[in-house]
Amino acid sequence: MSATFIIERLGNRGDGVATAEGDSVYVPYALPGETVQTSSEGERRKLEQVVSASRARIKPICSHFGTCGGCHLQHLERSLYLKWKSRLVEEALEREELELKPEPIIPFGAHERRRVVFTAIRSGAETVLGFSERNTNRVVDISQCPVLLPRIEQALPVVQAIAAHLAPRSGAIKLSVVACDNGLDIAISTGSFTPEEARQKAIGEASDPAIARLTLNDEMLIERRRPLLVIGRALVTPPPGGFVQAVQGAEQAMAALVTKHLFDCKHTADLFSGFGTFALRLAERSTVLAVESDGAALATLVRSWREAGGALKPISTAKRDLFRSPVTAHELKKIEGVVFDPPRGGAQAQATQLAKSGVARIAAVSCNPGSLARDLRILVDSGYRLLSVTPIDQFVFTPHVEAVALLER
């Protein structure tokens, strides 16, 4: 059913929000102040036409914007876009009654993302490689993605050619691409047996010297060079398909905030450490306890530390599920500074232990302002002072925002 709305504001997921008979109606790709015509019914509408456009509306940078579900907000003028992102963090703090205005957002832009996971499926004789449509499992075939570093975008035809040999008749495969400092690291996960002929053909497609490593279901197919990331004084070879901060500049900005805050601490802990984005930098000045549930990430951290020779102070590691078994206040007795950087769900159990501890300084890193604010509330209630919260636009054009919060006892 066709209906016309005047958009009042942008919602938390970047949709235009209007009010109809006292209820909120969400219209993707509509901006505040616009009059829009929509089809479909219920709370979520489909934008049919912008009847009168906002002056803040700009031309999206990608030809797939509006069909590909990767980006929600390429059509909003930049200063308003950044204001909306900062507001997501501000509102999360307000909901937990944390009285602190966030620092100015650290912005990033197009052509900066260094880690991406593509989905590929077979559609008849064709292979479709791209990202899911918004709110569906349909994969949008992409010919460009200006969010990515140009060297990943340039490799799209090769990634597509590799996927064409490996995508099974039914089901999807995932292709993770990380632009390491010395070449691309491509890790493919098919979730099923791959016939030898398909495997050999995929290897044949990867002759591009820009590819440093190609793995299939954790098996090495090609290692032209050992892929490397520079993390402080250390060199890291990330585990195939493992977590890497999405934008190098964002990683460096987060690390600078964390290491400055924990500068005077002699003994530190990095919880949810991954391969040591923070631990390897903190170890330039302090001993570090790194705790994480992914064994491959910890093995990488140990290797990087060993290869750094005597340049770093001791790092000890523990493989542990920090949701079920957080590091206890007692275990943190000798630790002066902690950084924790959990997945989107946050670190409630770990924050509860920190709240009981005597740790002097804490840096909380998060990609979810809601769970971050909840964890900060636990710490503030136990006597920590919230010094600053800095939003970082690591995930451009999406409703996701990274933030670093600094606290002291």
Ligand X SMILES: C[S@@+](CC[C@H](N)C(=O)[O-])C[C@H]1O[C@@H](n2cnc3c(N)ncnc32)[C@H](O)[C@@H]1O
Output the CA–CA distances (angstroms, integers) from residue 20 to 43, 213, 273, 330, in the order listed: 9, 54, 46, 54
* Separation between Cα atoms, residue 343 and residue 365, nearest integer Å: 10
Burial of 5 by CB count in 10 Å (0-12 exposed, 13-18 middle, 19+ buried)?
buried
Catalytic site includes residue 180: no
Q: How far is the CB of 66 from ligand X (least distance, A)?
A: 29
Q: Which is nearer to ligand X, 205 or 341 (CB)?
A: 341
Q: Which is nearer to ligand X, 247 or 355 (CB)?
A: 247
375 lies in the site for ligand X, by CB under 6 A: no
Q: How far is the CB of 234 from ligand X (least distance, A)?
A: 13
Q: How far is the CB of 341 from ligand X (least distance, A)?
A: 4
Going residue by residue from 314 to 343, which x/- string records binding to ligand X, judged by CB under 6 A? Answer: -------xxx-----------------xxx
List own/partner pairs for 33-40 with CB under 8 A and 24 or more apart: 33/6, 33/7, 34/6, 34/7, 35/4, 35/5, 35/6, 35/7, 36/4, 36/5, 36/7, 37/2, 37/3, 37/4, 38/2, 38/3, 38/4, 38/5, 39/1, 39/2, 40/1
DSSP H or E stretch at residue 157: helix 156-166
Choose among 276, 282, 345, 357: nearest CA to 312: 282
Q: What share of the chain is helix, strand, coil (3-state, %, to 5)?
A: 25, 30, 45
Q: Which is nearer to ligand X, 164 or 244 (CB)?
A: 244
**Looking at 16, 274, 346, 391, which residue binds ligand X (CB under 6 A)?**
274
**Looking at 273, 304, 390, 394, which residue binds ligand X (CB under 6 A)?**
273
362, 379 contact by CB (below 8 A):
yes
Q: How far is the CB of 404 from ligand X (least distance, A)?
A: 11
Choose among 274, 248, 162: nearest CA to 210: 162
245 lies in the site for ligand X, by CB under 6 A: yes
List the interface residues with ligand X, window 296-315 (CB under 6 A). 297
240 lies in the site for ligand X, by CB under 6 A: no
294 lies in the site for ligand X, by CB under 6 A: yes
185 lies in the site for ligand X, by CB under 6 A: no
Helix axes 156-166 and 196-205, enclosed angle (nearest 10): 170
Residue facing ligand X at closest CB distance: 274
**Looking at 5, 29, 84, 243, which residue binds ligand X (CB under 6 A)?**
243
Helix axes 369-381 and 78-95, enclosed angle (nearest 10): 40
Q: Which is nearer to ligand X, 96 or 341 (CB)?
A: 341
- Kindly indicate which of the ranges 51-59, 85-93, 149-157, 270-278 contains the residues binding ligand X, using the contact rule CB under 6 A: 270-278
Q: How far is the CB of 403 from ligand X (least distance, A)?
A: 12
Q: Which residues bind ligand X (CB under 6 A)?
A: 243, 245, 272-274, 277-278, 292-294, 297, 321-323, 341-343
Catalytic residue numbers read 367
